[in-house]
Amino acid sequence: MRLLEERILKDGTVLEGDILKVDSFLNHQLDFSLLKKLGERLYEIYGDKGVTKILTIEASGIAVACGAAEYFNVPIVFAKKAGHKNIGDDLYTAEVFSYTKGKSSVITVSKKYISKDDVILIVDDFLANGQAVLGLKKIIDEAGATLAGVGIAIEKGFQKGGKELRDAGISVSSMAVIDSMSEGKIVFGESV
Ligand code: 5GP
């Protein structure tokens, strides 16, 4: 999506460790008009798949999920990170290694909110090594639900997640794919 690529070029900052900072529109301050456009594009791609729920991971995925829910008109479920004691003990769990924090955490979803009848679209802000998406997929598999696809705002194509997920037969649609990045230079690949 040209619009997102232009915004990344205008407002993104490349940090050490291959991290792109997009705090001004995606990860701290939110541009909801842009998020809705990403959601609209996801609906063009997955709108006919019978999606019943959007699944994401707190915190930054929630904003992207809200943009998508505008169009899909289905509930958003967000996986919680460890430390939440108030969602009961009937939980699906998965271990996820965080790329930005450099450590693992356990994510949880209450069994109340995902069932075998659900058709689920996973949504997240970034795709790097694919750990977050794989953790969410494990929860979907445990619930016996169906994965419709994965919608990502920014995929770092030079990291392995996108290739591994696609090689596993999962439909992954990224609104912007970064082929390479260094301070002052971001090169985009093909995106949806
Ligand atoms: P993965 O699980 O695919 O390795 O990494 C994706 C997760 O790590 C996303 O949920 C996102 O929050 C975070 N992440 C990975 N790379 C970046 C990055 O370059 N910038 C930001 N802001 N977050 C990232």
- CB count within 10 Å of CB 141 equals 13
Per-residue pLDDT 10s for the chain (192 aa) are: 999 999 999 999 999 999 999 999 999 999 999 999 999 999 999 999 999 999 999 999 999 999 999 999 999 999 999 766 666 779 999 999 988 888 999 999 999 999 999 999 999 999 999 999 999 999 999 999 999 999 999 999 999 999 999 999 999 999 999 999 998 899 999 999
SS3 (DSSP) at 177: strand
**Ligand 1 centroid distance, CA of 77 (Å):** 19
CA-closest candidate to residue 41, choices 189, 171, 175:
175
**Ligand 1 centroid distance, CA of 72 (Å):** 24
Q: Which residues, listed in sequence order, are joined to residue 127 by a DSSP beta bridge?
A: 155
**Ligand 1 centroid distance, CA of 128 (Å):** 6
pLDDT digits (tens, 9 = 90+) for 65-86: 999 999 999 999 999 997 666 6
Q: How far apart are CA 125 and CA 68, in angstroms?
A: 12
